[in-house]
């Protein structure tokens, strides 16, 4: 025990004393503390009785500190400040920490990264550490708290937060075609670029727009960013998510190769292990990214 209890005045009394000393008025202190004036006066009287010292005297309508009161209020203010800061620190630390997140390269670069400053501003107590992974993986044995996966809700041992479907568009360099093709099969006149992790993307796209076929093999890339650069340099037609294609389309580096678009066969999900509670940084991130995807739907 630090000291006998008789040496510890109540927090309410200390707050009332500090407010009266600062405002020089029991009435104003009562308004600030949402108390009655008589309640504030009783708190001051109780504190003086406990200390056996007069802390304040009345001069007209003002409350004036005695010498002992002036000495005491300096200590009280420092103690109250430190107590409040300790409370804030404890609360913040319980909600703070690092979030280790595995992301898909294109989604992370083109969709998530431009928005992360919003999360940092809303949650300065959380540090987000990002690492790229090209395909879904088992989280249990990994160093990650969560991951962005693409596909369907068929991964074992995880909880899911659906983020968004992947909408894809066929794009190419402006000088490769004169205008977007109306007939999807006209795209077969040019090389089609393929993504390693989406080997059936083109066949599914043709099926979705009503022209099932087995498109020819072509150059294969491990990332959308590399495939976009290949399309930009005239090597063929790429099937890109809209969030990857849009910047290139807006600045004219790429153009739509067809006027047909469709949602892909899968969606993006935030996933995390289901065998333990989500840590506070992950809970904060879940709430934030869900809000971001909802705004995008509007």
pLDDT digits (tens, 9 = 90+) for 239-253: 999 999 999 999 999
Instruction: State what percent of residues in the chain have pLDDT above 70.
Output: 96
Mean pLDDT over residues 255-265, rounded? 83
pLDDT tens for each residue of 27-65: 999 999 999 999 999 999 999 999 999 999 988 888 999
Q: Give the pLDDT score at 219.
A: 96
Q: Which domains does the chain have, with CATH numbers?
A: 5-92 (1.10.10.10), 98-164+267-295 (3.40.190.10), 167-262 (3.40.190.10)
pLDDT tier at 96 (50, 70, 90 boundaries)? low
- Of 141 and 28, the structure prediction assigns the larger pLDDT to 28
Q: Give the pLDDT score at 266.
A: 82
Instruction: State what percent of residues in the chain have pLDDT above 90.
Output: 66
pLDDT tens for each residue of 147-188: 999 988 888 889 999 999 988 999 999 999 988 998 999 999
pLDDT tier at 91 (50, 70, 90 boundaries)? low
pLDDT tier at 261 (50, 70, 90 boundaries)? confident
Looking at the predicted structure, is the pLDDT value of residue 95 above 60? no
pLDDT tier at 85 (50, 70, 90 boundaries)? confident
pLDDT tens for each residue of 104-139: 999 999 999 999 999 999 999 899 999 999 888 888
Q: Give the pLDDT score at 243.
A: 92
What is the three-state SS of the chain? CCCCHHHCCCHHHHHHHHHHHHHCCHHHHHHHHCCCHHHHHHHHHHHHHHHCCCCEEEECCEEEECHHHHHHHHHHHHHHHHHHHHHHHHHHHHHCEEEEEEECHHHHHHHHHHHHHHHHHHCCCEEEEEEECCCCCCCCCCCCCEEEEEECCCCCCEEEEEEEEEEEEEEECCCCCCCCECCHHHHHHCCECEECCECCHHHHHHHHCCCCCCCCCCCEECCHHHHHHHHHCCCCEEEEEHHHHHHHHHCCCCEECECCCEEEEEEEEEEEECCCCCCHHHHHHHHHHHHHHHHHHC
């Amino acid at each position: 025990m630090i000291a006998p209890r008789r040496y510890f005045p109540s927090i309410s009394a200390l707050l009332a004393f500090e407010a009266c000393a600062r405002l020089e008025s029991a009435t104003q202190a009562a308004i600030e503390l949402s108390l009655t004036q008589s309640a504030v006066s009783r708190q001051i009287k109780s504190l003086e009785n406990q200390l056996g010292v007069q802390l304040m005297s009345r001069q007209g309508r003002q409350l004036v500190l005695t010498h002992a009161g002036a000495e005491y209020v300096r200590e009280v203010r420092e103690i109250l400040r430190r107590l409040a800061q300790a409370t804030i620190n404890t609360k913040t630390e319980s909600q703070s920490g690092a979030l280790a997140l595995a992301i898909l390269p294109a989604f992370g670069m083109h969709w998530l990264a431009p928005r992360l400053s919003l999360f940092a501003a809303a949650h300065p107590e959380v540090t987000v550490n990002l690492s790229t992974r090209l395909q879904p993986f088992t989280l249990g044995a990994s160093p990650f708290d969560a991951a962005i996966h693409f596909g369907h809700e068929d991964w074992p041992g995880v909880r899911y937060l659906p983020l968004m479907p992947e909408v894809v568009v066929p794009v190419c360099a402006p000088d490769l075609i004169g205008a977007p093709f109306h007939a999807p099969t006209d795209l077969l006149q040019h090389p089609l670029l393929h993504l390693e992790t989406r080997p059936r993307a083109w066949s599914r796209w043709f099926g979705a727009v009503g022209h099932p076929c087995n498109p020819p093999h072509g150059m294969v890339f491990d990332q959308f960013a590399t495939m976009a650069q290949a399309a930009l340099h005239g090597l063929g037609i790429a099937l890109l998510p809209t969030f990857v294609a849009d910047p290139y389309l807006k600045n004219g580096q790429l153009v739509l190769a067809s006027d047909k678009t469709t949602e892909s066969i899968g969606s993006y999900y935030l996933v995390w292990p289901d065998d333990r509670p989500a840590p506070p940084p992950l809970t904060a991130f879940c709430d934030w990214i869900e809000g971001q995807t909802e705004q995008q739907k509007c």
